[in-house]
Structure 1
Amino acid sequence: MKTILAPIDFSPVSDRVVAEAACLARALDGRVVLLNVTAPVIIAADYTAFIESIAEITDLTAKAAAKELAKIEDRLENEFTHAESIQLTGAAVPAIIDQATKLEADYIVIGSHGHTAFFDLLVGSTASGVLKRAPCPVVVVPAPRKTPAKPAKKKKKR
């Protein structure tokens, strides 16, 4: 059975990632492994008084993610697609690569948020990092368009 790893972050592109991963899994008689990686909260200064609040926020975020993963997993199972989910805390790219290796994933289906090159240069791109280090083929699903594409102007015949 083929394994399709689908890292999702519950952004608008996540629905498309799940749909593409499910389609690929059905075509290959495989399974979808949903992966959510929550970035840990980074404390930039001495905020020891807020550590309990930060731990609570991290815990609430993890619980909300677990509920969403369960919903998606149930939906896929109802659509006759084998599915399971994994939830981790850490840096996204290393966690995705590590899980792909551990699961011996046949494919990774990941979303692209469609940021500008300048944004990716400053912040980094998870999809780009995964593409560079993946142990298997990667399918990149583009973010939904914000505005509909304009039809090309037709040239007038002379």
Structure 2
Amino acid sequence: MKNIVFPVDFSDTTDVLIDGAVDFAKEVMGKICLIHVAPADIGFAIGDMGFQYFPAIEENEIAEELRELNEIQKRIEAKGVACDHILKQGVSADIILNYAKEKNASYIVMGSHGRSGMYDVFVGSLTKEITKNSEIPVLVIPCHD
């Protein structure tokens, strides 16, 4: 069975991406390896006293993101595709590419909002970075109108 790494960010395009990833997994008889990368600084805030760390905020956010991952896994499995999931913290592109190697993935499935130009200069594009640096084929599903 082929492993397909499928990063999710819980954005408004996640439903479209789930459908595309499931369809692709069925075509190649693959298993979806769902991953969400949370920022490493999720519990930090800046205020009058500088940077402060709030472990309760981080714990609550991680718990909510794990709940969402569980729900997505159940949706994928209900469509007849094997799935597991993991949540990691750090730099998204590095974590995703390393995870794909760990899982001996055959593919990475990601979305594209169809933005370019100045958006990439100021915000960056995770999909663009992954496709540029991946040794594994990347299937890009368009998520724009």
User: Is the TM-score greater than 0.5?
Assistant: yes
Distance 1:116 1:137 in 2: 21
Q: Which has the higher strand share?
A: 2
Q: Which amino acid aligns with 1:47?
A: G
SS of residue in 1 equivalent to 2:53? helix
Across the aligned residues of Structure 1 and Structure 2, the Cα RMSD in angstroms comes to 1.8
Percent identity of paired positions between Structure 1 and Structure 2: 28
Query: What's the counterpart of residue 61 of structure 1?
Result: 61
Gaps of 5+ in 1: 146-158
Does the 8 Å contact 1:7/1:109 carry over to 2? yes
Q: TM-score, normalised by structure 2?
A: 0.88
> 2: distance between equivalents of 1:79 and 1:119?
35
Instruction: State whether residues 12 and 143 of structure 1, in contact with CA within 8 Å, keep that contact through their aligned partners in structure 2.
Output: no
Alignment of 1:17-36 (within 5 A): 17-36=17-36
Q: Over residues 21-47 of structure 1, what are the superposed CA-to-partner deviations in whole Å (9 max), with x where a residue is unaligned? A: 111111111100111001122667863
Moved more, 9-18 or 126-135: 9-18
Q: Which amino acid aligns with 1:51?
A: Y
Amino acid in the other structure paired with 1:24: F
**Residues 52-106 of structure 1: CA deviation (Å, up to 9, x unaligned):** 2xx3222222111111110111111121110110111111100110011111111
CA distance in 1, matches of 2:76, 2:50: 42
Q: Looking at CA atoms only, which structure, 1 or 2, has the larger radius of gyration? A: 1
Q: Is the 8 A contact 2:40 2:89 kept in 1?
A: yes
Give the match for residue 98 of structure 1.
98
- Tell me, what secondary structure is at the counterpart of 1:97? helix
Q: Secondary structure at the match of 2:87?
A: strand
TM-score, normalized by length of structure 1?
A: 0.82
Listed as ranges, the gaps of 5+ residues in structure 2 are none
Distance 2:119 2:104 in 1: 32
| 1:119-130 mapped onto 2 (5 Å cutoff) | 119-130=119-130
Deviation at 1:143, TM superposition (A): 2.2
For the Cα contact (< 8 Å) 2:31–2:81, is it kept in 1? yes
Q: Is the 8 A contact 2:35 2:87 kept in 1?
A: yes
